[in-house]
Structure 1
């Protein structure tokens, strides 16, 4: 690990002292003067801004401490950090920060979206979830999220291939014997699609 920064909003020692001495009492103020240099609390802003604050520290000191510049941030979907780093222009206006998405978090967001869809549909009288064939069950949602993950990983650097693989998963999932939709699925005897395998084998 090259560098890291940890922000704390809470200090157990302070909490214990406040309970023992009284937060508004002179005794606590006197005690805190001696504790200040050892206190764990090093961040007092909104909890949602902690990640941004840490990124600011790491980027701001990278040249002085390590002699190089961070030009890419691996994102978990939290856009404020990338936005703030871009606004800071730490290395000047000519050095742009790029963002790459974490595939695990992208797949997780797909799973969360499907769960919300099933829940919202139920509230509107449209039963997507539940048990049985064709239902958006927990197992089905997990499978779709995993396929989405695989479609992204197996087509890295190939946006069109990624798009085709995602659509293949979707259309494969809604297919029935009476109404098949396997034209997007990979062809051949080694295809993951049972329909395309059957066609290849005649």
Structure 2
């Protein structure tokens, strides 16, 4: 029940059988046990990533990671935020950080400042140890501060360095890492292909919304189905040629010309050739049957 966020007053009738101090002691035990298990799981994930890097002949103490965060509330008004880091190959969490702009203890004693001045003074004397708040400023900065904190402690926590950061298009987090200089040199940033692909779909939908003439149903229209296919092809072009910008550009234009081709004006010159290609027209051409082939747009499953 506690892991579901239910407090002392919400524990049905269970909370009435023991004092609040006893409940707090139970929570401390739960927290200690959960933290121990969590640290063990993180250690296992780190070792698995090291093994994969070693098998590939890469430095086992240099990780490629990606970070993300979530808040208790939508927007930028939350007092609590949780951020995690995952590795490239195992795709498992290797660190997590909770950012908190609110301290329940301070808030409780602040209300009793006048009625219990001795207790209030005692709490303030040890406020650095007792206070649970670890973030100041706007909620939108929680993820940035959390990721920077986790990257900065990677050597002490796991004896590894996060030398490459896969970003989600938001450069603020990466700028925060560079400013912190956790390893005395720059961390390399790479863009997440999935999010780049997603942005293509968003822009196509925005283009359709702002230009009513290109939308609708029928041949030559920018339908939702076509947007889905174009988005997927765009991502595939990047994934197939991660080391060559020219090949990426060629595949993207191949998709464009392939989609505007007709029986009377086929434009498959940029489509890749070979027996396992996604373009049916080029496949027929490769097999010597192009003259008998009617223009047909391949289903998305073939491209994938």
Shared fold (TM-score greater than 0.5)? yes
Q: Deviations over 1:33-53 (max 9, x none)?
A: 78x8485x6434323322211
1:6 aligns with 2:134: no
Q: Deviations over 1:114-156 (max 9, x none)?
A: 111111212xxxx122211111111111111111111111222
* Alpha-carbon distance, 1:60 to partner: 1.8
| Corresponding residue of 2:196 | 106
Structure 2: runs of 5 or more not aligned: 1-41, 43-93, 290-304
How is 1:90-101 mapped onto 2 (pairs within 5 angstroms)? 90-92=182-184, 95-101=185-191
| Corresponding residue of 1:171 | 257
Change (3 A) 1:63 1:166: same
| Corresponding residue of 1:149 | 235
CA distance in structure 1 between the partners assigned to 2:165 and 2:114 by the alignment:
41
CA distance in structure 1 between the partners assigned to 2:208 and 2:255 by the alignment:
18
1:78 aligns with 2:170: yes
* Alpha-carbon distance, 1:6 to partner: 2.6
1:49 aligns with 2:135: no
Give 3-state SS (helix, strand or coil) of 2:99's partner. coil
After superposing on structure 2, the runs of 4+ consecutive aligned residues of structure 1 that deviate more than 3 Å are 8-11, 25-31, 36-39, 41-44
Rg comparison, structure with higher value: 2
1:193 aligns with 2:279: yes
* Alpha-carbon distance, 1:87 to partner: 2.3
| Corresponding residue of 1:184 | 270
Give 3-state SS (helix, strand or coil) of 1:4's partner. strand
Alpha carbons 1:189, 1:198 under 8 Å: kept: no
CA distance in structure 2 between the partners assigned to 1:192 and 1:74 by the alignment:
29
Change (3 A) 1:28 1:166: farther
CA distance in structure 2 between the partners assigned to 1:60 and 1:110 by the alignment:
33
Structure 1: runs of 5 or more not aligned: none
* Alpha-carbon distance, 1:192 to partner: 1.1
Give 3-state SS (helix, strand or coil) of 1:170's partner. helix
Whose strand fraction is larger, Structure 1's or Structure 2's? 2
Change (3 A) 1:26 1:99: same
Which stretch of the first structure deviates more once superposed, 108-117 or 162-171?
162-171
* Alpha-carbon distance, 1:164 to partner: 1.4
Alpha carbons 2:201, 2:227 under 8 Å: kept: yes
Alpha carbons 1:43, 1:50 under 8 Å: kept: yes
